[in-house]
Amino acid sequence: MKLQAIRGMNDLLPSESGVWQFVENTLKEIVSRYSYQEIRFPILEQTALFKRSVGEATDIVEKEMYTFDDRNGDSLSMRPEGTAGCVRAGIEHGLLYNQIAKLWYLGPFYRHERPQKGRYRQFHQFGAEAFGIATPDIDAELIIMSARCWEALGINDLKLEINSMGTSECRDKFREVIREYFSKHQSQLDQDSLRRLDTNPLRILDSKHPDMQALIHEAPKFTEHLDDDSKQFFDTVCDYLAQANINFEINPYIVRGLDYYSHTVFEWTTDKLGAQNTICAGGRYDGLVEQLGGHATPGVGFAIGLERLIALIEANQDTAKLNATPDFYVIIAGETAQRKGLAWVEKLRSALPSKSIQAHCGGGSFKSQFKKADKSGARYAIILGDDEITSDQVTIKALREQTDQKQLDFEALVEWAS
């Protein structure tokens, strides 16, 4: 059997790691400016955690989880999303009760979906969750923070759509309104929607089936069935966004594929990536902490799909320059140079802590080392031969531009390179 990666699970090659590091560092920096702190939680959790949070009747839990019994016979699942694990860890370590917690996480998630462009079985999310704040200011601030992320990454054409699902009572009532509406039109429902009529009728609103669109368009709208408090909550979020000059559209059909939401839900989408066009999604989930065994604590958050975000950045800008290349490549030719070379390069690394310096290892002629120096992408070659070692005068040659080569002693080299 030929060994190869599992379908839908990608290797990240060195030629791509520059843009990933740039994106991850930028996101970390921005959320820490809003005082979010990192939390890490396991990839494997009890299956029951996802059943009780994401919901038994969702596609994720019904069809997409990697679930197996471990050697003790316990049912475990690979995390399909981050909010559940974040809440579980927060409850377990007393981070949420009676206090404000602002947390972020980054890592791989797993869903057994049909792989296609922008949809993978292992994908990465950068998530942010804020606990302990029941007022709409934090919903708006999270959205404003995500907008700042796009700006920092040079993305300016994402569309923000928001909706409100109201309180859980509103949602329960609206679910019945929707069930009744679609029940009257059963003959027009596709297979999936027929099944959802019993289990999760709200999800029918999210169907992408072309034949269903007219029916969905005529369906009752969440925003028209909100109670007064929920409506006011939603209007306030919208007002805060308008005050902060964030453009948005109210989309009454956003219902999200996870069951824990209440009040605000939102999605940032692009028209550059085809069908898998949601870059970031989230919302409020005031009932979740209690549902998972904690004290009632409000929560709101979002997760960014990094593969999609990076595909978008790659479509817009040249990211090759983000790949790390050495500043210097040290060519080491000659017997004395070979003996003393590594120690000399160590001394140089100590003197130039912010530079990346690749020492040639593996021997070979001057010519072949030069070729490798060029291929490494280094800006300069430093030539260290026997004469150079004895006379303490190395030659520096620019590899990417036409300038005269220099001869410098160690101290002058350090000064020039600093």
Minimum Å distance from CB 59 to ligand HAM?
Answer: 10
Closer to ligand HAM at the Cβ: 288 or 384? 288
Please give the order of strands across the beta sheet that includes 67-69.
44-46, 75-78, 67-69
Q: What is the 3-state secondary structure (H, E, C) of 143-168?
A: HHHHHHHHHHCCCCCCEEEEEECCCH
- Answer whether 218's CB lies under 8 Å from 127's CB: no
Minimum Å distance from CB 189 to ligand HAM?
Answer: 24
Closer to ligand HAM at the Cβ: 280 or 389? 280
DSSP 174: H
Minimum Å distance from CB 80 to ligand HAM?
Answer: 7
Q: Is 343 exposed, middle or buried (0-12, 13-18, 19+ CB in 10 A)?
A: exposed
Closer to ligand HAM at the Cβ: 138 or 279? 279
> What does DSSP say about strands 75-78 and 262-269: parallel, antiparallel, or unpaired?
unpaired
Closer to ligand HAM at the Cβ: 306 or 373? 306
Cα angle for residues 51, 55, 57 (degrees, 5° grid): 110
Sequence length of the chain is 418
With CB atoms as reference, the residue minimizing the distance to ligand HAM is 305
Sign of CA dihedral 180, 181, 186, 187: positive
Minimum Å distance from CB 257 to ligand HAM?
Answer: 6
- Of 75, 73, 47, 72, whose CA–CA distance to 61 is shortest? 47
Minimum Å distance from CB 11 to ligand HAM?
Answer: 15
Closer to ligand HAM at the Cβ: 307 or 388? 307
| Buried residues in 177-196 as b, exposed as e (16+ CB within 10 A) | bbbebbeeeeeebeeebeeb
Report H helices in 280-365: 288-291, 306-316, 335-351
d(CA 177, CA 171): 10
403: how many CB neighbours lie within 10 A of its CB? 10
Closer to ligand HAM at the Cβ: 59 or 388? 59
Minimum Å distance from CB 114 to ligand HAM?
Answer: 9
Closer to ligand HAM at the Cβ: 128 or 389? 128
Binding site for ligand HAM (CB under 6 A): 81-83, 111, 113, 119-120, 123, 125, 127, 129, 257-258, 278-283, 301-303, 305, 307-308
Minimum Å distance from CB 25 to ligand HAM?
Answer: 19
Furthest CA-CA distance within the chain: 92
The residues, ordered by sequence, that sit 6+ positions from 362 with a Cβ below 8 Å of its Cβ are none
Minimum Å distance from CB 4 to ligand HAM?
Answer: 20
Minimum Å distance from CB 301 to ligand HAM?
Answer: 3
First to last CA, the chain: 52
Amino acid at 122: Q
d(CA 24, CA 245): 26
Closer to ligand HAM at the Cβ: 112 or 349? 112
Closer to ligand HAM at the Cβ: 119 or 173? 119
Minimum Å distance from CB 210 to ligand HAM?
Answer: 22
Closer to ligand HAM at the Cβ: 303 or 337? 303
